[in-house]
Structures are given as C-alpha cells and as structure tokens.
Amino acid sequence: MKSGDFMTYYYYIAADIELPKESLKNVYLDIDESEERIKGFEFPIQLEIYNGIGREREARILLEYLMQQAEKHKTCTFQIANLINSNRVPFKILERRQVQLHKIKSPAELILEEGELLTIRKVNLVY
C-alpha cells in the first residue's frame, strides 16, 4: 500500500424508513450520518459505522436498534453491508443474503464478511 492510501471497514446502513442517529447515542459504536449512494443498495445510505462490527456485543446493539426502529412500522426493510472504504478501491458487493427480522435468532447474524450485503425485512405477520 502506498503512503496516503487508507482502508477502513465500514458498516453502511440503508432503510426505507428514517433511521435517527439520536437513538444510538451513548452506545459503543462509532456511528455517523451519511447520504452516500452505493451501487447494490436499494435505498440511500443513512448511517455508517466506522470500523464495522466485529463482536457480538456490537451486533446486539445494532440489532436492538433495528428492532426498535421497526416497532413503529408494519413493514420495513433495512440493508447492511460490510465494505472497505478506501481512496483507491471502489465499493463492491460480493455476496447478498436476505432474512426476515423476526427470524434472526442471534445478533451474530449481523456480523458480516467483507463485501456482504444483508437485507432484513420486517413483514406484517398475520396469525
């Protein structure tokens, strides 16, 4: 790598609902708002997590946040990707997965590989 190059993992989070950053205050994630457009996402990026998520504790915080935001809606969709942000390498989605929010059994399911995009859908369950 040449001097001046930087590469950092980011979790980029997009949704078809508004994702307020205020709800994530006082948590142990380095979160910032974003309006980045990344090819492969269905929605504009709203939040980015610097250095990504690598531990289950961090994934638990993110999952609780997503569940809290989804509570207010009958249906909604979140997209999360783990990408390298580099001044030399373009963003690239390498793998896509989908899951329904109510079927997530463990926060560890949100720990993504580099280039992985996870689409999480909350569906209106009718019993």
Read off the pLDDT band of 88 (50, 70, 90): low
CA-to-CA distance for 99 and 115, rounded, in angstroms? 17
Range in 64-68, 74-78, 123-127 the model is least confident about = 123-127
pLDDT of residue 21: 75
- Section 39-44 average pLDDT: 91
Number of Cβ within a 10 Å radius of residue 124: 7
Among 5, 29, 6, 12, smallest CA distance to 92 is for 12
Higher pLDDT, 113 or 32: 113
102-123 per-position pLDDT tens digit: 999 999 999 999 999 999 999 9
Q: Please, which residues bridge with residue 95 across strands?
A: 116
**What are the domain boundaries of the chain?**
7-122
**Backbone phi and psi for residue 46, each to the nearest 5 degrees, phi listed first:** -115, -35
Place of tokens 């909604």: 76
**Are 37 and 21 a contacting pair, CB within 8 Å?**
no
Q: DSSP H helical segments within the chain, as ranges?
A: 56-70
* Bigger pLDDT: 27 vs 42: 42
Query: Above 50 in pLDDT, residue 4?
Result: no
Structure tokens at 30: 């380095």
